[in-house]
Structure 1
Amino acid sequence: PIRFKEFIRNNPGRTVVTYVNTNIDIKVLSDISCTSSNAVQIIESLPAEEKIIFGPDRNLGSYIKEMTGRDIAIWDGACHVHEDFSVEAILDLKKQYPEAKLIVHPECEPPVRMMADFTGSTAALLKFTSIDSSDEFIVATEPGIIYQMEKKNPMKKFIPAPSKNSARGCSECNFMKMITIEKIYECLKKEEPEIVIDKEVLLKARKPIVRMMKISEKIGL
């Protein structure tokens, strides 16, 4: 948060928009939260002359900038999963599956997005695979979503996009994999571990989330 606070100070007069799953310290510094599903619409809802800071993901930030043409100062952070996809390996995979459509998350690097047949949030990717007529898809996002894609479309084929580290195969999120059924069960059963947040911090951190929800309601998201 210290470095991000300095970044804000070095880019004065800008509305601070941050990804909803940032930690509470970043939310305290933010004006509006967003998700990958609503980020473009949230930015477009702001006055055209309004300058923006976006964080923490530089790839999602560059995607939003491409889609909206807005004046956005982008924090230099990234998702390790979406930065790990290999353009070369995807090209090789396309040779194996020439009819497959490449679908990618906007947190992927620009060269990967440029190759895509469709770019969208996790929810948008899931919807696209259901409504599109293609039978094969190369999926460039956390491969956990493939289970839901297969469940909704059992007759279609979903191929996880390979990572830059060929020995590891597809790009998985180590942090998401730390959440297990057993841990959720114990948490619900014992109501622990308890997280205690200072009331003043909590009130400040709620503001960007509440503003996101109000904007979303206003524009019909």
Structure 2
Amino acid sequence: MATTTTRFGGNSAVFDGPTGYAGVEAGPEWAEEILRLAKAKNATILAHNYQLPAIQDIAHHVGDSLALSRIAAEAQEETIVFCGVHFMAETAKILAPSKTVLIPDERAGCSLADSIDAAQLREWKAEHPDAVVVSYVNTTAEVKGLTDICCTSSNAVEVVESIDPDREVLFLPDQFLGAHVRRQTGRTNMHIWAGECHVHAGINGDELTARSQAYPDAELYVHPECGCATSALYLAGEGFVPEDRVKILSTGGMLDAARTTGAKQVLVATEIGMLHQLRKAAPGVDFQAVNDRASCPYMKMITPAALLRCLTEGKDEVHVDVATAERARASVERMIAIGSPGGGE
């Protein structure tokens, strides 16, 4: 890829290999220029909860991927700038097919979405021809197009419970979320794909136990994608942590809980970008990461320089072919028709 020369003041947005675009500081002048460009281009900026704080702060809307995609569909602006990873921008395009959808760096992928592709899903479906396919929204457009019903981490239990108990279920791609759903529903005819988000999977039970011992009065907010979710339930079940302090929550659920918590300290098991929104939602609470190294390198590819380049040059545009988008949209709409659209991932 050629080096970009998008300029701002005395700086340039420079392509810096696998780490993305660099060379621009997120100061007041940058913020003013980003908002000016967004207005001039009739664009709205959406930022995922795991983005860099500067990106979250400049965005018009911050949230989880599904909530942001629904905002994209309803937005008056003609252009959507999605500051997140690629499958999220695809979902926005699926729900807003007539809009131009841009991602500041198209190389921002996702280890969880990449853990199953369309060919693998077709093969799995062939082994279980009568099964209902339930896919987490953290999947590619092609996989959504082969899915019967999508789900989010906050409504996955509800979605699976809506399916005839005699039908097999193929749940993908996250094995930890699938295990959580199986525990909650007690369903025995549910097959779970062995995929994972490498960041969430890396937040382990030993770390959670050690942090809980260091902060004995803290609440625990644990994302169901985490490798430590089972450990959290074990700690509660064995009485090491009171059950009412252990909360398995989506990112949206974490924000809701933060706004009403009476705790002085909360340990958070998810990607560390979430701490920025939690601290804004409840500034009087001490939020601490269970693993402060749980940073997604793909999310952090959306740098101030990348966002400046995106708005200046109109790159990178996201495309989903019409047939795939129609099939994928149907799987999302079936989820919404069940009841709660959920709080996203």
Q: Where in structure 1 are there 5+ consecutive unaligned residues? A: 163-168
Instruction: Work out which of the residue numbers 165, 170, 174 in structure 1 matches 2:297.
Output: 174
1:8 aligns with 2:137: no
Q: Is the 8 A contact 1:129 1:149 kept in 2?
A: yes
- CA-based RMSD of the aligned residues comes to 2.2
Counterpart of 1:165 in structure 2 is none
Distance 1:214 1:10 in 2: 28
Q: Deviations over 1:57-97 (max 9, x none)?
A: 01101101111122211111011111111322222222221
SS of 1:172's partner is coil
Counterpart of 2:319 in structure 1 is 196
Distance 1:118 1:12 in 2: 36
| 1:8–1:141 distance in 2 versus 1, CA, 3 Å | same
Distance 1:218 1:112 in 2: 28
Distance 1:170 1:194 in 2: 31
Deviation of 1:153 (Å): 1.2
Instruction: Work out which of the residue numbers 117, 134, 158 in structure 1 matches 2:287.
Output: 158
| 1:218–1:54 distance in 2 versus 1, CA, 3 Å | closer
Counterpart of 1:76 in structure 2 is 194
Q: Is the 8 A contact 2:171 2:178 kept in 1?
A: yes
Distance 1:193 1:72 in 2: 38
AA partner of residue 270 (structure 2): T
1:137 aligns with 2:260: no
Counterpart of 1:97 in structure 2 is 215
Distance 2:231 2:302 in 1: 28
Deviation of 1:160 (Å): 0.2
Deviation of 1:125 (Å): 1.5
Q: Deviations over 1:111-147 (max 9, x none)?
A: 3332361111111122112222211111001111111
The runs of 4+ residues in structure 1 deviating greater than 6 Å are none
Q: % of aligned pairs identical?
A: 34
Query: What is the number of residues matched between the two proteins?
Result: 214
Q: Is the 8 A contact 2:159 2:338 kept in 1?
A: yes
Q: Is the 8 A contact 2:208 2:232 kept in 1?
A: no
SS of 2:339's partner is helix
| 1:141–1:23 distance in 2 versus 1, CA, 3 Å | same
1:119 aligns with 2:248: yes
Tell me: higher relative CO, structure 1 or 2? Use CA pairs within 8 A at least 6 residues apart: 2
Deviation of 1:215 (Å): 2.0
TM-score by length of 2: 0.57
TM-score by length of 1: 0.87
| 1:129–1:107 distance in 2 versus 1, CA, 3 Å | same
Counterpart of 2:40 in structure 1 is none
| 1:93–1:72 distance in 2 versus 1, CA, 3 Å | same
1:38 aligns with 2:167: no
Deviation of 1:170 (Å): 2.6
Distance 1:54 1:118 in 2: 22
Deviation of 1:205 (Å): 2.1
Distance 2:248 2:200 in 1: 13
AA partner of residue 9 (structure 1): A
Computing the radius of gyration from Cα coordinates, the structure with the larger value is 2
